[in-house]
Amino acid sequence: MTTEEKTPDSPEARTARLNANLARVEELSKRLTAALTRRRHVDPALHGPAPDVYMKAAAAWLAEMMQNPAKMVEHQVNYWGKTLKHYVEAQQTLAKGEFRAPPDPGPRDRRFSNPLWDTHPFFNYLKQQYLLNAEAISTAVGDLETLSPEDRRRVEYFTRQIVDMFSPTNFLGTNPEALERAVETDGESLVQGLENLVRDIEANQGDLLVTLADREAFKVGENLATTPGAVVYRNRMLELIQYEPTTEKVHKTPLLIFPPWINKFYILDLKPANSLIKWIVDQGFTLFVVSWVNPDASYAGTGMDDYIRDGYLRAMAEVRRITGEKQINAVGYCIAGTTLALTLAHLNKAGDKTVKSATFLTTLTDFSDPGEVGVFLNDDFVDGIERQTERDGILSKFFMSRTFSFLRSNDLIYTPAIKSYMLGEAPPAFDLLYWNGDGTNLPAKMAVEYLRGLCQQDGFAKREFKVFGQPVSLADVTQPLCAVACETDHIAHWRGSFNGIKQMGSGDKTFILSESGHIAGIINPPSKDKYGHYTNDAPVAGDPDAWLKGATFHKGSWWPRWGEWLKAHSGPLVKARIPADSLAPAPGTYVVATPVLEPTS
């Protein structure tokens, strides 16, 4: 058979494809080496917890072994028994000459969805032994009695990270789906995976951060953040966007939303079907939204007072000027909710009644129990962040993105990495994941003030955090308020949110607990009828679990319930307000600007 007569699946053709792929691997290896040499200097503390975490775990285990040897022996015997039983079952099945796995008792794990994990003796043995080991390690750590609650939380978290990292799904030689794909494609999938890996390392200055979404599939202002509006004010901290009305009449009191500046505001306006911004406008409100600047090293000295003075107070003043109204309603999401509460406390102490009502979305103000994210708030990490920001002038979005990803490592690190690097798949065209990867930096001073003064020292709840030199407290927040927290939020856990709200001085509090997490629980349009929510007519006081026990569950989104609450605080209907001046069409320029990320030294 001549070369021209080769069929695509002939041995000769497949060998040729394999050789071509090997040549591509050599070229990609050169690119990989070059990319790794450009890796920036990063403070070692940002790569993992201090060694004392592991020392405390080891010391606690030794203490348990000395003080309660019977329990430790019971752990070991239980683990050995399950391991040996599974080994014997696998041997007995093979001894019968049957190429199949023994019965799999479960539980089911999404990581092992490929049928070969259940049917193939080798892969099933790997899976079950891994799960038995994971269970044994988690049980041993969970039963340590000599650790403080804070140390226990950190040891359990980082133990889980290590256990998840060593899943057999994360390695080519023990991932049946990746091996099948490599054979089917004559190595093409592995070459494409290496291409994806090199691309990600090149894009992150020698560090690895998995690309979660197709970067070419979306463009802000074209198929994301498309609700019509105009930038009506701009300063060095923000662009203020006023949205065009869709109703002839609007409520008299305008609404101003402060999104978090850890990410970009268009999470509230991904597409029309799930846009909270569009929904609010359609309900008859004059809506303004802040789009924060993405800071570079020139913002190194910008602190929390700057965000309050040039961000919150300035935006409030501009909304009042534009609408002619003396009062506004305000919304704060996540860190922007925390800062909104600080701003309200400052205004109320000064006798300023600018804000008529406030809404807090997934907001922590009491950090006595910061939840799962608290594992990153000890001095080992925060000291490293302080040293790094002193050098760079900013806390880079890279570090924040990586940290938040590790809070859901299987969903946001390992599964995407398997698909991209082992299976050679292109990132999906997923708007939410695109937004997730479109992060922002934090100014050095602001980041440290927030981490030290609010998170570590719990200064707001302790009446110690200062705004413009004067301490403020949660009791100073007296406006009617509505707070929405999310049941499975891994960033701002709902019990912590509840505990902060209950300490606020308002006599008119509404607390809503949405199903799902930090994003999906908030971006939950009524048309989807996906996640429900809980309410309770009892006061927002006492134990949050007791509040939940007495709460009523409602199917569907919390948006309409909040909309009715907001209408009650927004006055009569007036003629719709059209944006009079425009510095740029929505979504503005700050949201798409790319700051200079080079370190200052």
Whether 562 maps to a domain, the answer reads yes
Based on the fold, state whether residues 250 and 350 are members of the same structural domain: yes
Local confidence band at 601 (pLDDT 50, 70, 90 cut-offs): very low
Bigger pLDDT: 32 or 453?
453
Write 232-235 long-range contacts (CB < 8 A, 24+). 232/288, 232/318, 232/322, 232/579, 232/580, 232/581, 232/582, 232/583, 233/314, 233/315, 233/318, 233/322, 233/583, 234/583, 234/588, 234/590, 235/310, 235/314
> CA geometry: angle at 81 spanning 102 and 117, to 5°?
30
Please give the distance of CA 496 from its chain centroid, rounded to a whole number: 17
For the segment 138-167, what is each residue's pLDDT rounded down to a tens digit? Answer: 988 888 888 888 888 888 989 999 999 999
Which residues lie below 8 Å from residue 401, measured CB to CB, with a gap of 6+? 209, 436, 437, 439
Whether 503 maps to a domain, the answer reads yes
Contact 497, 241 (CB under 8 A): no
Which residues lie below 8 Å from residue 15, measured CB to CB, with a gap of 6+? none
CATH number at residue 483: 3.40.50.1820
Residue with tokens 């030294």: 601
Based on the fold, state whether residues 75 and 158 are members of the same structural domain: yes
Whether 106 maps to a domain, the answer reads yes
The DSSP code sequence of 271-317 is SGGG-HHHHHHHTT--EEEEEE----GGGTT--HHHIIIIIIIHHHH
Whether 288 maps to a domain, the answer reads yes
Question: Reduced to 3 DSSP states, what percent helix, strand and coil does the chain have, rounded to the nearest 5?
Answer: 50, 10, 40
Measured from the Cβ of residue 161, the count of other Cβ atoms closer than 10 Å reads 16
Based on the fold, state whether residues 363 and 508 are members of the same structural domain: yes
Considering its fold, how many domains does the chain have in total?
2
Residue at which a domain ends, from 134, 152, 170: 170
Rounded CA gap, 416 and 252, in Å?
47
Look at the chain and count its residues: 601
Record the tokens describing residue 121, joined without a space: 């003796």
Based on the fold, state whether residues 160 and 264 are members of the same structural domain: no
For the segment 14-65, what is each residue's pLDDT rounded down to a tens digit? Answer: 777 777 777 787 888 888 888 888 887 888 877 777 777 778 777 877 777 7
Whether 317 maps to a domain, the answer reads yes
Whether 213 maps to a domain, the answer reads no
Residue 596 confidence (pLDDT): 57
Based on the fold, state whether residues 141 and 239 are members of the same structural domain: no
Where in the sequence is the domain holding 161, given as residue range(s)?
Answer: 50-170
Measured from the Cβ of residue 302, the count of other Cβ atoms closer than 10 Å reads 23
Residue 105 confidence (pLDDT): 72
Based on the fold, state whether residues 254 and 151 are members of the same structural domain: no
Based on the fold, state whether residues 363 and 479 are members of the same structural domain: yes
pTM of the predicted model as reported, rounded to 2 decimal places: 0.91
The helix/strand count (H/E) of the chain reads as 21, 17
For the segment 382-415, what is each residue's pLDDT rounded down to a tens digit? Answer: 999 999 999 999 999 888 888 888 888 888 899 9
Q: What's the average model confidence in pLDDT over 166-188?
A: 93
Based on the fold, state whether residues 162 and 244 are members of the same structural domain: no
Whether 10 maps to a domain, the answer reads no
φ, ψ (nearest 5 deg) of residue 407: -70, -20
Residue 251 confidence (pLDDT): 98
Positions marked catalytic: 334
Residue 600 confidence (pLDDT): 36
Based on the fold, state whether residues 162 and 272 are members of the same structural domain: no
Based on the fold, state whether residues 250 and 165 are members of the same structural domain: no
Rounded CA gap, 471 and 462, in Å?
10
Residue 12 above 80 pLDDT? no
For the segment 524-576, what is each residue's pLDDT rounded down to a tens digit? Answer: 999 988 999 999 999 999 999 999 999 999 999 999 999 999 999 999 999 99
For the segment 473-498, what is each residue's pLDDT rounded down to a tens digit? Answer: 999 999 999 999 999 999 999 999 99
